[in-house]
């Protein structure tokens, strides 16, 4: 069966903790979208590993797959694999031959375009990893796929077509100088070498066939979504979005496993008990102005600084219309709520229960970001819950949570129409209270 983990908000919901918890029952952990913009920290055997591309399950001895929906920077991939091997691990990572390759020029173009957009405040605040420009080339049918690296002649043909165009964009559109990242021979030499290494290590797969065969043989697959619903290219706050589909549909198109198979499995939405945002764009429930101190407090307590970029994250109250939207877009069968401990001991706990848009009450997000920016949150206040010994609570289970915290969780579950599968009350693996293991719910 499959379990798909989806971010319900703007990324950084703590998906890794659940991938960790449930990955134990998985045979294969699969990423279906994104690239090395997805920072995650995994602690195993007292050691901390910071990854941005390799699926976290690979550290736990699972097969990790980067599906065709991913964009792969082979430099990052091999850096991360080499680091893990230097530290005594033996990660088994397979890469879809249909996945697209992030080339050095994509990163350059990411930076240039963000800079150009910043004049009009339209930059997305990207991670600068070349994600958008790579997906752009994929859709524009001028991308380079992992499979192309395996054949030096094909690789040369692709580079000879695309690189002059990229060079022209830099020079003629942006009036800048194109550097070594735009040198066809140098690119060919490096990336044909990468192809030889991928081949020698037998790392490339036809993802749909590989995963389908494993499923037929009874394997459990965990689809590890990166980022979150509100920065989904289709369902997010365009243009302040990433360029892929973190929503559950991406688990099918991004792996070659059919939607009926994904849909027969479990789809778990991961929710952070408040909101954080790395990047630009509106945020109706943002704690700013008079609430800046509260935001600072939550930011520090929750460690809300970007894993990839180190940027401080913007903080807000939970945005419930955003969660209703996420639940609909992905069809959640359950939710996991993280960071409940971070809100403990506050004088007040609020959520954005709905929006007021020019006098009209909205229960879900409007489809344009401009209208979203005009939404005033209709706040609902909850009784705050006290600081308690969270490790002891995690040990005892759900019923040991403070009453007020359970009221908050019941409300959330009702609003998104899905039961609570897990609650995170601290950063350690042992501090996640598990109510349901989705792999045990196979019909």
Contacts (CB under 6 A) with ligand IMP, residues 257-296: 278-279
Q: How far is the CB of 315 from ligand IMP (least distance, A)?
A: 13
Do the beta carbons of residue 257 and residue 221 sit within 8 Å? yes
Cα 132 to chain centroid distance, Å, stands at 14
Give min distance, CB of 359 to ligand IMP, in A.
Answer: 31
Nearer to ligand IMP, 249 or 265 (CB): 249
Cβ–Cβ < 8 Å for 171, 177:
yes
Of residues 399, 362, 392, 366, the one with CA closest to residue 377: 362
Reading the block at residue 388, the tokens are: 């308690």
| Contact code string over 67-106 relative to ligand IMP, x by CB under 6 A | ----------------------------------------
Nearer to ligand IMP, 19 or 226 (CB): 226
Binding string to ligand IMP for residues 179 to 198, with x set by CB under 6 A, is what? --------------------
The answer to whether residue 329 forms part of the interface with ligand IMP (CB under 6 A) is no
Which of 60, 100, 129, 324 forms a contact with ligand IMP (CB under 6 A)?
Answer: 129
Q: Residue 40 or 401: which CB sits closer to ligand IMP?
A: 40
Q: In the bound complex, what is the minimum distance in angstroms from residue 342's beta carbon to ligand IMP?
A: 17
Binders in 11-70 for ligand IMP, by CB under 6 A: 11-12, 37-39
Label residue 150 exposed, middle or buried (CB < 10 Å: 0-12, 13-18, 19+). middle
Binder among 132, 147, 195, 302 for ligand IMP (CB under 6 A): 132
Would you say 124 or 342 has its CB closer to ligand IMP?
124
Q: Does 134 bind ligand IMP (CB under 6 A)?
A: no
Residues 6 or more apart whose Cβ sits within 8 Å of residue 135: 71, 100, 233, 243, 244
Residue 167 interacts with ligand IMP (CB under 6 A)?
no
Whole-number Å distance between alpha carbons of 443 and 438? 11
- Active-site annotation holder among 20, 27, 36, 40: 40
Our CA dihedral for 366, 369, 370, 372, rounded to 10 degrees, sits at 50
Q: Which residues contact 351 (CB under 8 A, 6 or more apart)?
A: 285, 317, 318, 319, 320, 379, 380, 382, 411
Whether 12 is a known active-site residue: answer: yes
- Closest approach, Cβ 9 to ligand IMP, in A, equals 9
Is there binding between residue 131 and ligand IMP (CB under 6 A)? yes
| Residues 218-257 contacting ligand IMP, CB under 6 A | 226-227, 231, 240-243
| Residue 126 in contact with ligand IMP, rule: CB under 6 A | yes
The count of other CB atoms within 10 Å of the CB of residue 223 is 31
Per the annotation, the verdict on 119 as an active-site residue is: no
Distances (CA, A) of 155 to 150, 158, 190: 8, 5, 11
124 vs 146, which CB is nearer to ligand IMP? 124
**Angle between helix 184-200 and 152-168 (nearest 10):** 140
Cβ proximity to ligand IMP: between 124 and 416 the closer is 124
Alpha-helix residue ranges (DSSP H) falling in 87-183: 104-118, 131-139, 146-149, 152-168
Whether the Cβ atoms of residue 278 and residue 313 lie closer than 8 Å to each other: yes
CB contact at 8 A, 228 and 332: no
The answer to whether 148 contacts ligand IMP (rule: CB under 6 A) is: no
DSSP-based three-state secondary structure for 28: strand
What's the CA dihedral at 434, 437, 438, 439 to 10 degrees?
Answer: 160
Q: Is 125 in the site for ligand IMP (CB under 6 A)?
A: yes
Residues that bind ligand IMP (rule: CB under 6 A) add up to a total of 21
Q: Which stretch binds ligand IMP (CB under 6 A): 19-27, 126-134, 159-167, 393-401?
A: 126-134
How far is it, in rounded angstroms, from Cα 309 to Cα 434?
31
The candidate with the shortest Cα–Cα distance to 143, out of 109, 111, 171, 112, is 109
Q: What is the DSSP string of 247-316?
A: STHHHHHTTT--HHHHHHSEEEEEEESSEEE-S-S--TTB--GGGHHHHHHHHHHHT-B-TTT-PBPEEE
In the complex, the smallest distance separating the C-beta of residue 243 from ligand IMP, rounded to whole angstroms, is 6
Q: Which is nearer to ligand IMP, 94 or 313 (CB)?
A: 313
Which candidate in 12, 137, 232, 319 is catalytic? Answer: 12
Residue 237 Cβ vs ligand IMP, minimum distance, rounded to whole Å: 9
Q: Which is nearer to ligand IMP, 203 or 235 (CB)?
A: 235
What single-letter DSSP state applies at residue 134? H
Choosing from 2, 8, 68, 127, the residue that interacts with ligand IMP (CB under 6 A) is: 127
Interacting span for ligand IMP (CB under 6 A) from 120-128, 156-164, 255-263, 288-296: 120-128
- What are the residue numbers of the active site? 12, 40
Write out the residues near ligand IMP by the rule CB under 6 A.
11-12, 37-39, 124-127, 129, 131-132, 226-227, 231, 240-243, 278-279
């Amino acid at each position: 069966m499959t379990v798909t983990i989806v971010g319900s908000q703007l990324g950084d919901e703590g998906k890794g903790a659940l991938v960790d918890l449930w990955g134990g029952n998985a045979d294969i952990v699969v990423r279906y979208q994104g690239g090395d913009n997805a920072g995650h920290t995994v602690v195993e055997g007292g050691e901390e590993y910071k990854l941005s591309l390799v699926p976290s399950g690979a550290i736990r001895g699972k097969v990790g797959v980067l599906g065709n929906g991913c964009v792969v920077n082979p430099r990052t991939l091999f850096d991360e694999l080499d680091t893990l091997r230097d530290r005594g691990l033996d990660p088994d990572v397979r890469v879809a031959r249909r996945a697209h390759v992030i080339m050095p020029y994509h990163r350059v173009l990411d930076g240039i375009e963000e800079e150009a957009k910043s004049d009009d405040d339209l930059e997305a605040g990207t991670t600068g990893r070349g994600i958008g420009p790579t997906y752009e080339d994929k859709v524009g049918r001028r991308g380079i796929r992992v499979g192309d690296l395996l054949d030096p002649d094909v690789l040369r043909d692709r580079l000879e077509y695309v690189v002059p165009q990229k060079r022209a964009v830099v020079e003629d559109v942006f009036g800048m100088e194109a550097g070594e990242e735009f040198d066809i021979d140098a690119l060919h030499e490096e990336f044909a070498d990468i192809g030889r290494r991928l081949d020698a290590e037998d790392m490339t797969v036809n993802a749909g066939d590989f995963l389908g065969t494993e499923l037929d043989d009874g394997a459990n697959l965990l689809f590890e979504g990166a980022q979150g619903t509100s920065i989904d290219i289709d369902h997010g706050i365009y243009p302040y979005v990433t360029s892929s589909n973190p929503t559950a549909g991406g688990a099918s198109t991004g792996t070659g496993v059919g939607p009926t198979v994904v849909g027969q499995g479990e789809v778990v939405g991961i929710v952070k008990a408040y909101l954080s945002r790395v990047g630009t764009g509106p945020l109706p429930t943002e704690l700013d102005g008079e609430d800046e101190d509260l935001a600072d407090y939550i930011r520090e307590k929750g460690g809300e600084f970007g894993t990839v970029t180190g940027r401080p994250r913007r903080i807000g109250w939970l945005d419930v219309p955003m969660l209703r939207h996420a639940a609909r877009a992905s069809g959640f069968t359950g939710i996991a709520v993280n960071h409940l401990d971070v809100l403990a001991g506050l004088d007040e706990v609020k959520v954005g229960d709905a929006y007021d848009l020019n006098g009209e009450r909205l229960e879900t997000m409007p489809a344009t970001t401009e209208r979203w920016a005009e939404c005033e949150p209709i706040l609902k206040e909850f009784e705050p819950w006290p600081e308690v010994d969270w490790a002891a609570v995690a040990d005892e289970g759900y019923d040991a949570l403070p009453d007020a915290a359970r009221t908050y969780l019941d409300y959330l579950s009702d609003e998104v129409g899905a039961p609570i599968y897990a609650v995170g009350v601290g950063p350690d693996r042992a501090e996640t209270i598990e109510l349901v293991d989705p792999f045990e719910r196979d019909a």
